[in-house]
Structure 1
Amino acid sequence: MPRTEAVARRTYGGRSAADRRAERRERLLAAGLALFGTDGYAASSIEKLCTHAGVSTRNFYEEFHSREDLLIALHARANERSWRAVHAALENKCDAALAERIELSVRTFINAMASDPRLARLAYVEMIGVSDKVEARRMAWRKKWWDFMVGEADRAVLRGEAKPRDFTLPALAVIASVNELVHHYSVNRGRITLDEVIAEVVRVAVAAVTAP
């Protein structure tokens, strides 16, 4: 058996090396959410992250090349979870009207991305302006949601709920409203509710698709 495979299969206290490594990774992800989402990305050094996670810096670099990679991983995990949740919510709503599908999509997405204030801050505050690499990943996810919104608008046209037109700018306007309103919510928690944010985004989205 190759040495690397033997090491991976070695157990300590009934747990394999792979299991222990996966647990350390989860602890680092939890530490990233806790610190990036409260103290902020700039104030959260690798040493602080490791102390919070209870791992060594060597363990950190076994999982992530940098703090940027940890930030990107957290953002990607949140978006992937939201993507699955939105599509699952719409799975049995093929015949639902545009307004119902948009309300369900927006509510599912925003609850997944912003119900935890730490995640809202990470996704809509701390991800901004970190580096070209982080921005590229953020924009890739924005493009994916943008395409989803255009797809919903095109569906509304086929159902006779909207007039055919180029929905590129309307979809971008909806994405921008989500970003700005959730950012506003994350820095004004207690003065605005998530339900208010969701209701406003739904109004913007329906108007953007159905406007003449």
Structure 2
Amino acid sequence: MGRRDGEIKDGRSYGGLSKEQRVAQRQTRLIDAALELFGTQGYAATSIERLCAVANVSTRSFYEDMGSREALLIALVNRTTSRAVERTLAALEKTEDEPLSTRVVESFRAYLSVTCQDHRTARVCYVEVVGVSAAVEDWRRQQRRLLSALVVSEAERAVANGEIKPRRFDLFALAVLGAVNSLAQELVQRTHPDSVISPEEICEEIAVIVNSVLAQG
């Protein structure tokens, strides 16, 4: 008696959704709200109360489901970069028979097509995520290691195929990643206000860098 539609006796289901499904829906709304707010007004300027209002989630549910604003930021960039890595792996598979320089550039083109999909994603992934906290910096290091490992693996594959000579590829990978990050940050926060940078132009510069480095080897 008095039980709401779709709710079972143990309280785990309401409106046809389990507790886990309801939590997942709230988390998705919070991540979507974070993309909009962090990507427009910035992480530091966005309060938990504002996030909850946009996501239509109570502050109590926010702390229960997400834990902190910092954790929400990590969840947002994780969602974006996971999709970007999936796109990158697909690009590497598609260019399997191409030279290393082509494979590296096309993989970053695929990655940037997600992380720089619009100004909000670029701002979050390359600007707002920098210097937030030790936990977020640890996430950034893990992401850098992941992408670096992909570049090193491709370079070692090219060595095995006789395409290039052996060298220290970990530094090569970090140099390329650093260039991508710097150019993406410039895309968001332009040094010269009248100079607009596109993801495609970033890829063109990366191609120059990669080809120059590989030509020396």
TM-score (norm: length of structure 1): 0.90
1:134-149 mapped onto 2 (5 Å cutoff): 134-149=136-151
The answer to whether the Cα contact below 8 Å between 1:163 and 1:210 also exists between their aligned partners in 2 is no
In structure 1, the partner of 2:11 is 7
Name the CA distance, whole Å, in 2 between partners of 1:28 and 1:108: 26
Q: Is the aligned partner of 1:158 residue 2:160?
A: yes
Q: Is the aligned partner of 1:83 residue 2:85?
A: yes
Structure 2: which 5+ residue stretches go unaligned?
1-7
- How far residue 17 of structure 1 moved from its aligned partner, in angstroms, is 3.6
Name the CA distance, whole Å, in 2 between partners of 1:5 and 1:79: 40
- How far residue 185 of structure 1 moved from its aligned partner, in angstroms, is 0.6
Aligned with residue 101 of structure 2, among 80, 83, 99: 99
Q: Is the aligned partner of 1:203 residue 2:208?
A: yes
In structure 1, the partner of 2:5 is none
The letter of the residue matching 1:6 is D
The letter of the residue matching 2:14 is T
RMSD: 1.9
The answer to whether the Cα contact below 8 Å between 2:176 and 2:209 also exists between their aligned partners in 1 is yes
Q: What secondary structure, in the 3-state scheme, does the structure 2 residue paired with 1:94 have?
A: coil
Deviations 1:3-53 (A, max 9, x none): x99322x232x4444333222111100011111111111001100100111
Bigger mean CA deviation after superposition, 36-45 or 157-166: 157-166
1:23-42 mapped onto 2 (5 Å cutoff): 23-42=25-44
Count of residue pairs brought into register by the alignment: 207
The answer to whether the Cα contact below 8 Å between 1:89 and 1:105 also exists between their aligned partners in 2 is yes
Deviations 1:63-84 (A, max 9, x none): 1111000001111111211111
The answer to whether the Cα contact below 8 Å between 2:109 and 2:199 also exists between their aligned partners in 1 is no
Deviations 1:105-146 (A, max 9, x none): 011011111122111111111111111111001111011101
1:178-189 mapped onto 2 (5 Å cutoff): 178-188=180-190
Structure 1: which 5+ residue stretches go unaligned?
none
In structure 1, the partner of 2:65 is 63
Counterparts in 2 of 1:163 and 1:119: CA distance versus 1, 3 Å: same
**Bigger helix share:** 1
TM-score (norm: length of structure 2): 0.88
